[in-house]
Protein backbone atom coordinates (compact mmCIF):
# COMPACT_ATOMS: atom_id res chain seq x y z
CA UNK A 1 0.00 0.00 0.00
CA UNK A 2 1.24 3.51 -0.75
CA UNK A 3 2.08 5.91 2.01
CA UNK A 4 0.61 8.78 0.03
CA UNK A 5 -0.99 10.15 3.14
CA UNK A 6 1.58 9.46 5.81
CA UNK A 7 2.12 12.24 8.28
CA UNK A 8 -1.57 13.14 8.45
CA UNK A 9 -2.65 14.49 11.81
CA UNK A 10 -5.27 11.96 12.96
CA UNK A 11 -8.52 13.66 13.88
CA UNK A 12 -11.12 12.53 16.37
CA UNK A 13 -14.77 13.53 16.39
CA UNK A 14 -16.01 14.02 19.94
CA UNK A 15 -19.74 13.51 20.14
CA UNK A 16 -22.28 11.66 22.21
CA UNK A 17 -25.40 9.59 22.16
CA UNK A 18 -27.81 11.45 24.37
CA UNK A 19 -31.33 10.10 24.35
CA UNK A 20 -34.27 10.10 26.74
CA UNK A 21 -35.56 6.64 27.70
CA UNK A 22 -38.57 5.53 29.68
CA UNK A 23 -38.79 1.96 30.93
CA UNK A 24 -41.99 0.66 32.45
CA UNK A 25 -41.55 -1.56 35.48
CA UNK A 26 -44.59 -3.51 34.28
CA UNK A 27 -47.36 -4.65 36.62
CA UNK A 28 -45.15 -6.97 38.64
CA UNK A 29 -42.33 -4.47 39.11
CA UNK A 30 -44.77 -1.65 39.80
CA UNK A 31 -46.30 -3.68 42.62
CA UNK A 32 -42.86 -4.19 44.11
CA UNK A 33 -41.95 -0.52 43.89
CA UNK A 34 -45.29 0.92 45.05
CA UNK A 35 -45.27 -1.40 48.07
CA UNK A 36 -41.72 -0.32 48.85
CA UNK A 37 -42.56 3.35 48.43
CA UNK A 38 -45.94 3.42 50.19
CA UNK A 39 -45.50 0.84 52.94
CA UNK A 40 -41.76 0.24 53.13
CA UNK A 41 -42.31 -3.45 52.40
CA UNK A 42 -40.12 -5.74 50.32
CA UNK A 43 -41.92 -8.42 48.34
CA UNK A 44 -40.55 -11.37 46.48
CA UNK A 45 -42.28 -13.96 44.35
CA UNK A 46 -42.22 -17.72 44.60
CA UNK A 47 -42.15 -20.21 41.76
CA UNK A 48 -44.12 -23.19 43.00
CA UNK A 49 -42.64 -25.49 40.39
CA UNK A 50 -39.00 -24.76 41.19
CA UNK A 51 -39.79 -23.89 44.83
CA UNK A 52 -37.64 -20.77 44.63
CA UNK A 53 -38.33 -17.32 46.07
CA UNK A 54 -37.00 -14.54 43.86
CA UNK A 55 -36.12 -10.98 44.79
CA UNK A 56 -36.63 -8.82 42.81
CA UNK A 57 -39.96 -10.47 42.02
CA UNK A 58 -40.67 -12.12 38.67
CA UNK A 59 -43.82 -12.42 36.65
CA UNK A 60 -42.43 -15.60 35.14
CA UNK A 61 -39.83 -18.02 36.46
CA UNK A 62 -36.75 -17.75 34.26
CA UNK A 63 -35.93 -21.42 34.85
CA UNK A 64 -39.20 -23.26 34.10
CA UNK A 65 -41.05 -20.41 32.31
CA UNK A 66 -44.16 -20.90 34.41
CA UNK A 67 -46.09 -17.83 35.52
CA UNK A 68 -45.57 -16.89 39.14
CA UNK A 69 -48.69 -15.89 40.98
CA UNK A 70 -47.51 -16.11 44.56
CA UNK A 71 -46.21 -13.04 46.33
CA UNK A 72 -44.20 -13.40 49.53
CA UNK A 73 -43.38 -10.57 51.88
CA UNK A 74 -39.79 -10.76 52.98
CA UNK A 75 -38.25 -9.38 56.13
CA UNK A 76 -35.95 -6.41 55.50
CA UNK A 77 -33.02 -8.38 56.86
CA UNK A 78 -30.70 -11.06 55.64
CA UNK A 79 -27.15 -12.24 55.13
CA UNK A 80 -24.41 -10.59 53.10
CA UNK A 81 -23.33 -13.02 50.38
CA UNK A 82 -20.50 -10.94 48.97
CA UNK A 83 -19.43 -7.30 48.81
CA UNK A 84 -16.97 -4.86 47.32
CA UNK A 85 -15.63 -1.53 48.48
CA UNK A 86 -15.34 0.75 45.49
CA UNK A 87 -12.43 3.18 45.37
CA UNK A 88 -12.88 4.46 41.83
CA UNK A 89 -14.35 7.90 41.43
CA UNK A 90 -17.02 7.89 38.73
CA UNK A 91 -19.58 10.52 39.73
CA UNK A 92 -21.34 10.15 36.37
CA UNK A 93 -22.74 6.79 37.45
CA UNK A 94 -21.80 5.93 41.02
CA UNK A 95 -24.38 6.86 43.65
CA UNK A 96 -21.80 7.89 46.27
CA UNK A 97 -18.27 9.19 46.61
CA UNK A 98 -15.59 6.57 47.17
CA UNK A 99 -15.04 4.61 49.19
CA UNK A 100 -18.51 3.12 49.22
CA UNK A 101 -19.66 -0.49 49.20
CA UNK A 102 -21.97 -2.72 47.21
CA UNK A 103 -23.21 -6.04 48.55
CA UNK A 104 -25.44 -8.90 47.53
CA UNK A 105 -27.87 -9.62 50.33
CA UNK A 106 -29.91 -12.79 50.68
CA UNK A 107 -33.02 -11.73 52.54
CA UNK A 108 -34.34 -14.29 55.04
CA UNK A 109 -36.62 -16.66 53.17
CA UNK A 110 -35.37 -15.72 49.70
CA UNK A 111 -33.44 -17.95 47.32
CA UNK A 112 -31.87 -15.12 45.38
CA UNK A 113 -29.79 -12.17 46.45
CA UNK A 114 -30.60 -8.48 46.19
CA UNK A 115 -27.78 -6.18 45.11
CA UNK A 116 -27.59 -2.95 47.06
CA UNK A 117 -25.38 -0.44 48.82
CA UNK A 118 -23.95 -0.98 52.28
CA UNK A 119 -23.87 1.79 54.88
CA UNK A 120 -23.22 2.63 58.53
CA UNK A 121 -20.15 0.41 58.52
CA UNK A 122 -16.44 1.03 58.04
CA UNK A 123 -15.03 -0.56 54.85
CA UNK A 124 -12.60 -2.67 56.87
CA UNK A 125 -15.40 -4.17 58.96
CA UNK A 126 -17.45 -5.60 56.12
CA UNK A 127 -17.28 -9.39 55.85
CA UNK A 128 -19.27 -11.95 53.92
CA UNK A 129 -21.83 -13.64 56.12
CA UNK A 130 -22.63 -10.47 58.05
CA UNK A 131 -26.28 -10.07 59.03
CA UNK A 132 -27.62 -6.84 57.59
CA UNK A 133 -30.89 -4.95 57.49
CA UNK A 134 -32.43 -2.49 55.10
CA UNK A 135 -32.48 1.20 55.94
CA UNK A 136 -35.28 2.93 54.08
CA UNK A 137 -35.51 6.53 53.08
CA UNK A 138 -38.08 8.66 54.89
CA UNK A 139 -41.50 7.99 53.40
CA UNK A 140 -41.80 11.45 51.88
CA UNK A 141 -38.48 10.98 50.08
CA UNK A 142 -39.39 7.61 48.59
CA UNK A 143 -40.08 7.74 44.87
CA UNK A 144 -40.78 4.14 43.96
CA UNK A 145 -37.33 3.03 42.90
CA UNK A 146 -34.61 0.78 44.23
CA UNK A 147 -32.96 3.71 46.02
CA UNK A 148 -36.01 3.96 48.31
CA UNK A 149 -33.83 1.55 50.23
CA UNK A 150 -30.94 3.81 51.27
CA UNK A 151 -28.61 0.92 51.96
CA UNK A 152 -28.21 -2.14 54.14
CA UNK A 153 -26.49 -1.73 57.51
CA UNK A 154 -25.27 -4.23 60.14
CA UNK A 155 -28.24 -5.85 61.83
CA UNK A 156 -29.20 -4.61 65.25
CA UNK A 157 -32.08 -6.33 67.00
Partner 1 sequence: MSLKAPPELIVFQQMADVPYNWSLGREGSLFLIALRDEKKFLGIKCPSCGKVYVPPRKVCGPCFTANSQWVEVGDEGVVTAFSVVNYRFTDPATGLPREVPYTFAFVRLDGADTKLCHKLAETDPARLKVGMRVKAVFAEQRTGNIEKDVIHFRAVQA
Partner 2 sequence: MAQRVAVVGFGQTHHKSNRGDVTGIELINEAVRRALEDAELGPGDIDAVVIGNMDHFENINLADMWGVEGTGGYLKPVMKLTTGGTTGTTVAIAGYYHVASSLFDVVLAVGWEKNSESDTTGGTITAFDPVWERFSFPGALPGLALDAVVYMQKYGVTEKDGARVAVRDRANAARNPYAHLRDPITVDDVLRSPMLSYPIKLLDICPRSDGAAALILAGEEKARKICRQPAWIWSVSVCHNYTYTSDVNFGYLDTLEQACRETYKKAGIKDPGKEIDVIEMYQPCSFAGLSWLEAMGFCGPGEAPGLLWDGATDAGGDLPVNPSGGVLNANPIGATGTIRVGEVARQIQGRAGACQVPEVKTGLATGFGGCYWSDVLLLGNRPR
Partner 3 sequence: MLDEVAIVGVGQTKYERRKIGETFADLVFEVTNKALEDAGITIRDIDNVVTVSNDFQDGRTISSMAVMDACGAFGKNVSTVEGDGTLGALYGLMRVLSGAFETTLVVAHCKCSEGDQDLIWNSAFDPVYYRRLGLEAVSASALQARRYMDKYGVTGEQCALVPVKNHRNARANPWAQEAMDLTVEEVMRSPVLASPLKMLDAAPLSDGACAVIFANRWKAGRMTTKPVWVRGVGHCADAYYLGDRDLAGVDSLTGAAKRAYGLAGIVDPRKEIDVVEVFEAFGYQELMWLEGLGFCDPGQGGVFTAGGNTLMDGPWPVNPSGGVLSAHPGLVAGLVRIAEACLQVRGDAGARQVDGVRTALAHGTNGLCGQGHCVWVLGG
Min dist. Cβ of residue 88 to partner 1 (A): 17
Site string for partner 3, 52-91 (x = CB under 8 A): --xxx-----xx-----------------xxxxxxxx-x-
- Selected from 40, 109, 113, 144, the binder of partner 1 by CB under 8 A is 144
| Residue 9 touches partner 1, criterion: CB under 8 A | yes
- Distance, CA of 35 to chain centre: 16
Contact partner at residue 120 from partner 1, partner 2, partner 3, none, CB < 5 to 8 Å by partner kind: none
Contacts (CB under 8 A) with partner 3, residues 1-30: 8, 10, 12, 15, 17, 21, 23-26, 29
Give buried/exposed letters for 118-156 (b at 16+ CB in 10 A, else e): beebeeeebeeebebbbebbeeeebebeeebbbbbbeee
Question: In this structure, what DSSP letter does residue 119 have?
Answer: -
Any idea what DSSP says for residue 145?
A: S
Q: Which does 104 bind (CB under 5 to 8 A by kind): partner 2, partner 1, partner 3, none?
A: partner 3
Nearer to partner 1, 63 or 143 (CB): 143
Select from 72, 112, 135, 144 the one that contacts partner 3 (CB under 8 A): 112
Residue window 74-103: x/- pattern of binding to partner 1, with contact defined by CB under 8 A = ------------------------------
Q: Which residues pair with 147 in a beta bridge?
A: none
Distant-in-sequence, close-in-space partners of 8: CB < 8 Å, separation ≥ 6: none
Q: Are strands 100-107 and 52-54 parallel, antiparallel or unpaired?
A: unpaired
> Among residues 48, 53, 43, which one has the least CA distance to residue 110?
53
Residues 28/57, Cβ–Cβ less than 8 Å: yes
Residues near partner 1, by CB under 8 A: 1-2, 4-5, 8-27, 29-31, 33-35, 43, 69-71, 73, 144-145
Amino acid sequence: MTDFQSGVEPMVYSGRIRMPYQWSAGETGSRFFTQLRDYGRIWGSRCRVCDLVFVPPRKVCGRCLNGIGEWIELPPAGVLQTFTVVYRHRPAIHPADPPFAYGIIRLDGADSGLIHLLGEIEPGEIVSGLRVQAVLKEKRERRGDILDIKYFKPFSA
